[in-house]
Structure 1
Amino acid sequence: MSTPESIEPFRVEIPDGQLQDLRARLANTRWPEDDLPGDDWSAGIPSGYLRELAEYWRTEYDWRQHEASLNSHPQFTCEIEGQRIHFLHVRSADPDAIALILTHGWPGSVVEFLDVIEPLSRKFHLVIPSMPGYGFSTPLSGSGWDLSRVAKAFAELMARLGYSCYGAQGGDWGAGISLELGRIDPEHVLGVHVNMLGTVAPEEPTAEEKERLAKNKRYFRELSGYRDIQRTRPRTLGYGLHDSPVGQLAWIAEKFHDWTDCVARPEEAVDRDRMLTNITLYWLTGSAGSSARLYYETDGGMRPPRELSVPLGVAVFAHDIVLPIRSVAQRQLPTITRWSEFGHGGHFAALEQPALLTEEMLAFFGSLG
């Protein structure tokens, strides 16, 4: 019999009926008749691309193949504060290896990290949780699961796993949670590494900083509408995405276009099947509304911690949605010990540039061991 403190083995085993229902819904999609033709993404995901992607999802994409890939790694669940937490736990062959907790964001999942598990696990024990309300960490146990509470739950998870010393890494919400872990658990967190960091504008920006700030403005002016909806009405949005796989597909695939290092199609930056596995996970777990709720609970904002005493590494990928200003970051967070800038890659670093991100983590955390 399991107890609230117990950690239970887990396998992904989606019933055939759910996959058949997905294909049937895709086949019966009610497509708009008045959509303008062409490949222009300025008003949202183009109809031609979405129809093609939906048809591939329905007729060629093989969930079972990717389910097996997930199940090739040890997975577990436990209960923390009444909330089910799902996580991958891949132990290194080196018993003295440092532990790392890798945290995804929205619209990501544990799928983001599949390509970095093998190289990282040579040197590190890896804990890769699904955030509350995401993936198999559903359903949400109640309200109040903001960024700070998620970080506290993950600190408890690492303690239950017996890790008295660990590193934390993440991007998007995962960056905020990793920074918060460093703030609230400095006795155990060896260091924090992030591949997204928000900063305010400097009072007198240099020419280079002005160029970076101009790029950041596009996100706030044009690409952040999803955030306002999820921050204010996650429940209403969830009904539509929960009922329509094409709606869920469009909502997330658009972000893989707008936020990655691609020109015409997301597949230029990320593998199509990896992207669809991530999206399928949202669909099969019915987590559209519960994942969006983190924006509501945290009021859509992710700010640097008030203080951080542990070493911090920052990786900046040129095509991320917002780019930090180094001079500001180092004033806000004086414990920054590593700052790396890359000309390729975007928001989903572990998917787009797994080798670069792996090298970054090995260099940063390896220097702290």
Structure 2
Amino acid sequence: MKNTLIEAAPIAVSEVELKDLQDRLARTRWPEKEPVSGWVQGAPLAKVQALCEYWRDRYNWHRCEMMLNGWNPQRTVIDGCGIHFFHVPSPEPNALPVIMTHGWPGSVIEFHKVIAPLTDPRSQGGDPADAIHLVLPSLPGYGFSEKPNEPGWSLLKIADAWIELMQRLGYGERWAAQGGDWGAQVSAAIGSRQPDGCIGIHLNGIAWKPSEAEIASADTHERQLIERLQRYNNDLSGYNKVQSTRPQTIGYALADSPAGQAAWIYEKFHDWTDNEGDPESIFSMDEMLDNIMIYWITNTGASSARRYWENDRDPSHDLPVKVPFAFSRFPKDIGGSSQRWAKRRFHQIVRWSETSKGGHFAAFEQPALFVEEVRAGLRAVQQKTL
């Protein structure tokens, strides 16, 4: 008999674990200073040292833990894997249920500024018709979800788990999916399944490469997207190659060194965001460390990296998506697709938006703009299905 139990799963990190973290940070053996200026060889020594000093001496995990436990943390087992998620129902009874998925190196922390306006727009001076019941799962091997003990957790398998989760929560009749990064690919996989009740998807990131013919016929805007993709491939994708080929090896460093785990993620906050030269121009130290802590305290450096290894062996990321699809592109995101290219995979594009600012971590960087985009995208999806 299948276990469909959903149970409360509050987060509680012990003082022993927190003291161990402080001790490890105090004993960090640092490399020499980079012989170049800026970030061209990676995160600069002085910047990482400042982040880790703040982490060791001033950061307060209990503040973050209290915030997370305020989002109704729950757990259920699907296909043998414990899935941790936050379930934040709207006070509006007719709200649309939406499952929203993070990516790497993000976490549910990315959504901390958008939960209230999305679930309770009335209290924020918005239209209650835009309200959603929000479900925020952690991917298998990420955050407080369990780590799969065997390969095979493809995009479609995760999508099927999310479909099952929405059914267990009683949302199976009418719901939508949203995501960026891996969350975008999982949401697209949900769309390719066309499950009962799923009225459509909204994405804020597409990992989609143009064909040779599309490159040859690219317009000015598309050529800019191609240049960004080339820069990513040439300068910014080293982490991808490592994690998609040797996730276990990089996992030893990430599991043993909090400074190493911090630098591995901190660099992405610089490279992938719409910032003014440093990630601190858009994120506070606490915000960055809240996200880094999710990886550290759960020891998910290796298990989260395996998602890349799985993806390289996964044929499902090109399957056609026929449910209504809305898209918001944030200009400093890595890579990206034009609407013309996207039509090859997404057959019902109901809204396509190019925003004025923001990057890869859209909800984290530009929460107000992200909320506007999600609302507009879901409105377009719902109008299509009326």
**TM-score category, normalised to shorter length:** over 0.9
Q: Matched residues, percent identical?
A: 44
CA distance in 1, matches of 2:278, 2:315: 28
Matched, 1:176 2:185: yes
CA distance in 2, matches of 1:301, 1:80: 20
Instruction: Select 1:151's aligned residue among 153, 156, 159.
Output: 159
**Residue 121 of structure 1, CA deviation:** 0.6
SS across alignment from 1:344: coil
Contact 1:147 1:294 in 2 (8 A): no
Listed one character per residue, the Cα deviations across residues 109-149 of structure 1 (whole Å, up to 9, x for unaligned) are 11111111101112111100000000100232422112121
Task: Give the structure 2 partner of residue 58 of structure 1.
Answer: 56
CA distance 1:308–1:113, shift in 2 (3 Å): same
Task: Give the structure 2 partner of residue 139 of structure 1.
Answer: 147
Contact 1:61 1:273 in 2 (8 A): yes
Q: 1:34-73, aligned counterparts within 5 Å?
A: 34-36=32-34, 39-73=37-71
Contact 1:39 1:48 in 2 (8 A): no
Instruction: Select 2:105's aligned residue among 107, 118, 124.
Output: 107
CA distance in 1, matches of 2:336, 2:381: 26
CA RMSD across the alignment: 1.6
**Residue 157 of structure 1, CA deviation:** 0.6
Contact 2:321 2:345 in 1 (8 A): no
CA distance in 2, matches of 1:49, 1:19: 22
Task: Give the structure 2 partner of residue 162 of structure 1.
Answer: 170
Task: Give the structure 1 partner of residue 93 of structure 2.
Answer: 95
CA distance in 1, matches of 2:37, 2:25: 22
Aligned AA (1:351): F
SS across alignment from 1:12: coil
Task: Give the structure 2 partner of residue 223 of structure 1.
Answer: 236
The answer for unaligned runs of 5 or more in structure 2 is 121-130
CA distance in 2, matches of 1:301, 1:355: 35
**Residue 197 of structure 1, CA deviation:** 1.1
SS across alignment from 1:332: coil
Aligned AA (1:215): R
CA distance in 2, matches of 1:259, 1:118: 25
Task: Give the structure 2 partner of residue 325 of structure 1.
Answer: 338
Task: Give the structure 1 partner of residue 26 of structure 2.
Answer: 27
CA distance in 2, matches of 1:75, 1:302: 33
CA distance in 1, matches of 2:198, 2:378: 11
Task: Give the structure 2 partner of residue 199 of structure 1.
Answer: 208
Contact 1:75 1:89 in 2 (8 A): yes
**Residue 174 of structure 1, CA deviation:** 0.3
Matched, 1:15 2:14: yes
**Residue 50 of structure 1, CA deviation:** 0.6
CA distance in 2, matches of 1:36, 1:355: 37
Aligned AA (1:265): D
Contact 2:272 2:333 in 1 (8 A): yes
Listed one character per residue, the Cα deviations across residues 44-98 of structure 1 (whole Å, up to 9, x for unaligned) are 1100101111101101111111111111111100101110100000111122211
Aligned AA (1:7): I
What TM-score do you get using the length of structure 2 for normalisation?
0.91
How many correspondences in the alignment? Answer: 366
Contact 2:327 2:377 in 1 (8 A): no
Contact 2:104 2:182 in 1 (8 A): yes
123-132 or 176-185, larger mean C-alpha shift: 176-185
Aligned AA (1:4): N
The answer for unaligned runs of 5 or more in structure 1 is none
**Residue 198 of structure 1, CA deviation:** 2.9
Task: Give the structure 1 partner of residue 126 of structure 2.
Answer: none
CA distance 1:38–1:59, shift in 2 (3 Å): farther
CA distance in 2, matches of 1:269, 1:302: 36
SS across alignment from 2:48: helix
What TM-score do you get using the length of structure 1 for normalisation?
0.95
Instruction: Select 2:226's aligned residue among 213, 222, 234.
Output: 213
CA distance in 1, matches of 2:151, 2:314: 17
Listed one character per residue, the Cα deviations across residues 283-342 of structure 1 (whole Å, up to 9, x for unaligned) are 000000001111111117797542222110111111001121221112432311101111
CA distance in 2, matches of 1:262, 1:302: 35
